[in-house]
Amino acid sequence: YYGEHISTCSSDLKIRIFEKDGDHWKLSCELPRAHTASIRMVVWARPDFFGQVLASGSSDGSICIYQESTETGTGRKIWRQRHRIVDSTEIVTDIGFSPAREGKLRLAACSRGRNSVRVYVASTSAQQLSQWSLQGTFSLNEVDTIQCLCWCPSVFSNPMILLGGGSKAAICRELEEKKDGMSEGPERKWEKLVELTGHEGNVLDVAWAPLSGRISHLCVTACQDHKIRIYEVSFNKEWSLTPEALMRPPKSDSKGAEVKLTCVLKESSPVWRVDWDLGGNCLSSIDDYGLLSIWGAEKNGRNFVKIREHIIGDGKSLEILNQKVKDGNSLFESKDLKNENTENPKIKIESDNFFDMGNVIVKPRSI
């Protein structure tokens, strides 16, 4: 499934799907227009359980759900709009699908001017995602707008979402379901579990790494203060690393939650997007200059160093970045808080002419 499709959204109100064809990418389709203003983001649901499903968020405040299906008679693959959610007139700032849980698909969304997150659930089967209902809302009271969110990829504990807004970042958790037959009620309650502190500017993006055998979680934030912060979050302090524990880790415990800032990475401009690879060992980021960076984990799994970077766009930022290097301003700083070794490898800056599809909003996401 993974690495075979790319979706893009643009101010021209179009969503385009690209498929891998050997060493190249070809445009396979354009989704039907459903928004009346710029499309700000597009995200995938897990393809191994739900098939090819996309959601898009727009400046018009709406969210659209699309699904790939097979046309009767011809067998041709086509995309259809299954549902349109219009609960707000404010700009959608972020959306995200939950991991597969009990055969249900859920979507979280946040909007500008609101400090709350809305969680929707598909009311029908995964094959016909035509009915969605609001399952719950929760707030981060310390901020005016929630800018970004990301679900915890683990399905073994209660659902958790990492949020960012203003200079705050926090993990919120859905409370235990009732056992009296009322667990399927329309409202689910959430609570703030723990905060991720230390930001000196607005948090612009967040991402939660896959566990991949770790006994603790890794969460990352992208900030307006030019820094990427990686946190190690442990919900259970005392349990042994056994095959049984890896198959089904113990549930998260709010009393045992512990957050540790393990690594700070520095760029030369505000960092807009971050995301993990499927193994949780590589991190991608993109900053205000259009510099796409790849960071790799060292042996301890907590400290990260830059292994590659690439200029996205027409290369106009290349002179600015090269001048910063010439003046002695490091493009990044990888810092292990236990070890003050910040020796940086040499960085090769590349430029490429990217295809023009209007004002494309670049947001690296695992597909």
pLDDT category, 307, cuts 50, 70, 90? very high
CA-to-CA distance for 11 and 27, rounded, in angstroms? 18
pTM for the structure as a whole: 0.80
8 A C-beta contact, residue 31 and residue 82: no
Q: What's the whole-number mean pLDDT along residues 301-307? A: 87
Q: Which of 243, 272, 237 is nearest to 255 (CA)?
A: 237
Reported as a single tens digit per residue, the pLDDT across 157-210 is 789 999 999 999 999 999 876 544 434 445 678 999 999 999 999 999 999 999
How many residues does the structure list for the chain? 367
CA-to-CA distance for 354 and 314, rounded, in angstroms? 7
CA-to-CA distance for 63 and 88, rounded, in angstroms? 10
For 50, phi then psi, to 5°, come to -105, 0
Reported as a single tens digit per residue, the pLDDT across 48-86 is 777 889 999 999 999 999 998 888 888 788 898 999 999
CA-to-CA distance for 168 and 18, rounded, in angstroms? 35
Reported as a single tens digit per residue, the pLDDT across 254-292 is 555 789 999 999 998 999 999 999 888 999 999 998 899
Q: Give me the chain's average pLDDT, please.
A: 79
pLDDT at 77: 84
Tokens of 72: 């009767």
Q: What's the whole-number mean pLDDT along residues 87-116? A: 89
Tokens of 342: 């910040």
pLDDT at 141: 85
Q: Label residue 122 left, alpha or beta by phi (over 0 means left) and psi (-120 to 50 means alpha).
A: beta
Query: Of all residues in the chain, what percent carry a pLDDT higher than 90?
Result: 45
Reported as a single tens digit per residue, the pLDDT across 241-250 is 555 555 555 5
Query: Of all residues in the chain, what percent carry a pLDDT higher than 70?
Result: 74
Reported as a single tens digit per residue, the pLDDT across 214-228 is 878 999 999 999 999
Reported as a single tens digit per residue, the pLDDT across 135-154 is 989 988 888 899 999 999 98
Q: Which of 141, 135, 82 is nearest to 109 (CA)?
A: 135
CA-to-CA distance for 1 and 205, rounded, in angstroms? 25
For 47, phi then psi, to 5°, come to -75, -25
What is the torsion angle, in degrees rounded to the nearest 10, for the CA atoms of residue 30, residue 35, residue 40 and residue 44?
Answer: -50
CA-to-CA distance for 22 and 316, rounded, in angstroms? 30
pLDDT at 313: 66
Q: Which of 63, 117, 170 is nearest to 55 (CA)?
A: 63
pLDDT at 121: 92
pLDDT at 332: 38
Q: Which of 19-33, 312-326, 345-359 has the highest mean pLDDT?
A: 19-33
Measured on CA atoms in the order 47, 50, 53, 55, is the torsion positive or negative? Answer: negative
pLDDT category, 91, cuts 50, 70, 90? very high
Burial class from Cβ neighbours inside 10 Å (0-12, 13-18, 19+) for residue 178 reads exposed
Q: For 193-217, b where at least 16 C-beta lie within 10 A, e where not — what string?
A: bbebebbeebbbbbbbbbbeebbbb
Residue 126 has pLDDT above 60, yes or no: no
H or E element that contains 364: none
8 A C-beta contact, residue 197 and residue 224: no
pLDDT at 124: 64
Q: Which of 338, 268, 345 is nearest to 302 (CA)?
A: 338
For residue 2, the tally of other CB atoms under 10 A from its CB is 12
CA-to-CA distance for 132 and 130, rounded, in angstroms? 7
Higher pLDDT, 353 or 307: 307
The DSSP letter of residue 156 is S
